[in-house]
Structure 1
Amino acid sequence: MDRAKSNAARGAWPVALGLTGLLLAGPTTLVGSAGVAWANPAESSSTDLAGVQAEIDEASAELDAQAQQAAQAAEQFNAERIRLAAAEQAAAAAAARVVRADQAVRAASDRHRGLAVSAGRAGGFSELSLLFTGDLQHALDRVGAVNALATRQRLADTSLRLARRDLTGARHDADAALADKKEIVADLGRRKQSLEASADSQRQLLDRLQARYAELKRQALARAEAARRARQAAAAAAAAALARQAQEAQSRYQQAVGIAATAGRSFAATPITAAPPQAPLGSGGAAVAVQEAYAQLGKPYVWGADGPGTFDCSGLSQWVWRKAGVSLSHYTGSQWNEGKRVGRAELIPGDLVFFNEELDHVGIYVGGDQMIDAPHTGAVVRVEPIWPSFQGGVRPGA
């Protein structure tokens, strides 16, 4: 898939953000987004513009690729947090079993020890010695009692042996559960470091893009001035339009740099913890989910965030439906199976819409082929068209 198709398919960073119509048609002609061509007052100017545009395209393509990889990594991070929650429950259950097994061993040991003392007081378990002690009737009575005591002692032996075996097994399971938990924590640590590095890299690319758009604006203004001096009105107007578009793009990227930097710091400061259980906080279904989604517009995207001030894509869908009375997991792969599947023609506001073969992005459908989503680093929760890479819809609570 080429870069432009990839961008459209994933809904990631648009190449040139409104300047995709810019075509460089050779060293002496530039065609702007309005389709106006002009002669080049200075041949080197066209070459410079071409170079800047090529750098913008390259940086934009690299940013898009990194955003795609980071989206997949972020959802795997969310999945691992769910695994950690399950591992912590398993470890806690295993530890509790060890405690119970240890108590059972202590109780069995006490019974075994008590029976041994009773047997000692009874003179041991030798029936022959008992028969030659005292009169016959009392001897027979003592034999019956001692036999019963011996039976209890054998049962106590078996009980103690089984209790010890269960304790050994419980300790083994507890060690395995703890090792599994530690492995997941270590994996989460590695994933977190990778995402932090990706955040730094994406922020640098955003910064580079806003700098290149600043340069594009500077060169376009210089070109407009040269065209005006050469009395080339159409060329001057086209260059001025290009400068305005470059200024708008520069401003957007400048804002994105700040959002990405804040998001990166926020994610870096977030401790590695298990995904907590999320009980519903409200009711009302899809209408409330949509209303709640609109209420989150403008809040920054942060990996692993589930509100109230920042969100990632599955954290946002979890949040709005929790307010609507339905608990969802904080992971797109789980949310895909947490409701009724619906096709595109069946979508109604509130449905979750999933994208890309990896199902690594989700939004909340709001009608009119539009959705609200938290798209990627450097962006905020926003309304945008459903991406071409739509895979299917899910209706939570249905």
Structure 2
Amino acid sequence: MASHRKPRQSPLGGQAVRTAATLALASAATTTLFEGSGHADPRLTTAQVKAKVDRLYEEAGAATEKYNGAKEKADEARAAFDRLRDEAARRTQRLNTARDGLGAMAAAQYRSGGLDPAVQLALTSDPDEYLERAALAEKAGDRQAAAVTAVRRELGAIRQLRAESAGRLTALRTHEAELRRQKTTVLDKLETARKLLARLTAEERARYDAAVAARDTARTPEGSGTAGAATADGADGADGATPTRADRSSGGERGPVTAPNTRASQAISFARAQLGKPYVWGATGPSAFDCSGLTQAAWRAAGVSLPRTTYTQINAGRRVSRSQLAPGDLVFFYSGISHVGLYIGGGQMIHAPRPGAPVRVAPIDEMPFAGATRVG
């Protein structure tokens, strides 16, 4: 039997349906547009890429110094834990020796029967012999008491060492976790910079490289690179003691500056010998350096021990103003004290800049100046 029901009507008329469809499509397009704009990275100019890459390298440098600090603390905690563990092993060996001695004494007493002294005197046929034995037994008792005291002392020391070791192990794990976190931060920053540079066309990359080179050349007095600064830290280009170029670090001519001592000259000589070696974050030489690794190694060659990081090196000597800079001073940059170089006179320094830029001579006005320290 045929159905007499009326076809179900749409609540909207034809025009209304078309309007709703149009609105739906517009809404979808708008959503897609906004979602796309949230995820798509607009095409950046070479200058914008350079600015972003420079910022990423600066952030990576700051994270590198935090990594260096965490590594230093982790190494110290690991060394302390190892020392405690070795001491606990030595104490355990002494404890075992003392226990063996007590066991031997106990066995001897068992073999002698442990008779009451009065009974032994009554049974002996030689009182003098008995008295001699009694004296020996008393001495043996003293030794036994001393052995018991030694065992107790070693047990207490071992318990204390184990408690200290547990604390050191907890500290070690904390520093290692921070080490991993900072390493991840550094690698993420560098990878982001790499991806930005990889998006440049060959022509854009050439313009980028030219802009970087032009910046360095423009800021380096009398030329750029190592050749233009070879005499900035020494008249003979050998020891950094008597620079011939006027110090322009404060924006004015002050005449030649002289390294304050032989050690400063030795530090500069070492740093110059590293020119051209690659920057590797966390490296302290001999084949690669990061910024604080280079300054630490330079002053170590001069017989001075510096701490590992920029924010500890700045407190390793006497603060000096920018107008008082002399060759050998440590110069620091950025508000977070995240970069350091070795001043060589003439407004220039030797430093390890960043990945892809080897150890080189550069002007100290290349980055925001944060302070200076004189060591040695």
SS in 2 for 1:285: helix
Identity %: 36
Contact 1:132 1:139 in 2 (8 A): no
Contact 1:73 1:195 in 2 (8 A): yes
Report what 2:192 is aligned to.
Answer: 201
Report what 1:151 is aligned to.
Answer: 142
Pairing of 1:148-227 with structure 2 (within 5 A): 148-208=139-199, 210-211=200-201, 214=203
Task: Give the whole-Å Cα distance in 2 for the aligned partners of 1:370 and 1:363.
Answer: 9
Task: Give the whole-Å Cα distance in 2 for the aligned partners of 1:167 and 1:88.
Answer: 19
SS in 1 for 2:373: strand
The change in CA–CA distance for 1:368 and 1:201 in structure 2 (over 3 A counts) is same
Match of 2:274 among 283, 296, 315: 296
Task: Give the whole-Å Cα distance in 2 for the aligned partners of 1:250 and 1:334.
Answer: 33
Pairing of 1:122-161 with structure 2 (within 5 A): 122-124=112-114, 126-134=116-124, 138-161=129-152
The letter of the residue matching 1:170 is: L
Matched, 1:249 2:249: no
Contact 1:104 1:163 in 2 (8 A): yes
Provide Cα deviations, 1:319-370, integer angstroms capped at 9, x if missing partner: 3223333333332233223333322222111111122332221111111222
Match of 1:66 among 50, 56, 64: 56
Q: C-alpha displacement at 1:391, in angstroms?
A: 3.0
Contact 1:352 1:394 in 2 (8 A): yes
Report what 2:352 is aligned to.
Answer: 374
Matched, 1:383 2:361: yes
SS in 2 for 1:371: strand
Task: Give the whole-Å Cα distance in 2 for the aligned partners of 1:181 and 1:302.
Answer: 25
Pairing of 1:1-398 with structure 2 (within 5 A): 55-56=45-46, 58-124=48-114, 126-134=116-124, 138-208=129-199, 210-211=200-201, 214=203, 248-251=207-210, 284-387=262-365, 389-397=368-376
Provide Cα deviations, 1:271-297, integer angstroms capped at 9, x if missing partner: xxxxxxxxxxxx952223223333333
RMSD: 3.2
Task: Give the whole-Å Cα distance in 2 for the aligned partners of 1:190 and 1:331.
Answer: 17
The letter of the residue matching 2:59 is: Q
Task: Give the whole-Å Cα distance in 2 for the aligned partners of 1:336 and 1:253.
Answer: 28
Report what 1:21 is aligned to.
Answer: none
The change in CA–CA distance for 1:154 and 1:61 in structure 2 (over 3 A counts) is same
The letter of the residue matching 2:375 is: P
The change in CA–CA distance for 1:125 and 1:381 in structure 2 (over 3 A counts) is farther
Provide Cα deviations, 1:216-236, integer angstroms capped at 9, x if missing partner: xxxxxxxxxxxxxxxxxxxxx
Q: Count the aligned residue pairs.
A: 287
The letter of the residue matching 2:101 is: R
The change in CA–CA distance for 1:128 and 1:343 in structure 2 (over 3 A counts) is farther
Contact 1:119 1:146 in 2 (8 A): no
Structure 2 unaligned blocks of 5 or more: 1-41, 214-260
Provide Cα deviations, 1:25-62, integer angstroms capped at 9, x if missing partner: xxxxxxxxxxxxxxxxxxxxxxxxxx97x744543443
Q: TM-score, normalised by structure 1?
A: 0.62
The letter of the residue matching 2:64 is: A
Q: C-alpha displacement at 1:86, in angstroms?
A: 1.4
Provide Cα deviations, 1:115-134, integer angstroms capped at 9, x if missing partner: 21232344327334334332
The change in CA–CA distance for 1:164 and 1:64 in structure 2 (over 3 A counts) is same
The change in CA–CA distance for 1:310 and 1:148 in structure 2 (over 3 A counts) is closer
The change in CA–CA distance for 1:148 and 1:191 in structure 2 (over 3 A counts) is same
Provide Cα deviations, 1:232-290, integer angstroms capped at 9, x if missing partner: xxxxxxxxxxxxxx954354569xxxxxxxxxxxxxxxxxxxxxxxxxxxx95222322
The letter of the residue matching 2:99 is: S
The change in CA–CA distance for 1:196 and 1:125 in structure 2 (over 3 A counts) is farther
Which of the two has higher C-alpha Rg? 2
Task: Give the whole-Å Cα distance in 2 for the aligned partners of 1:392 and 1:337.
Answer: 11
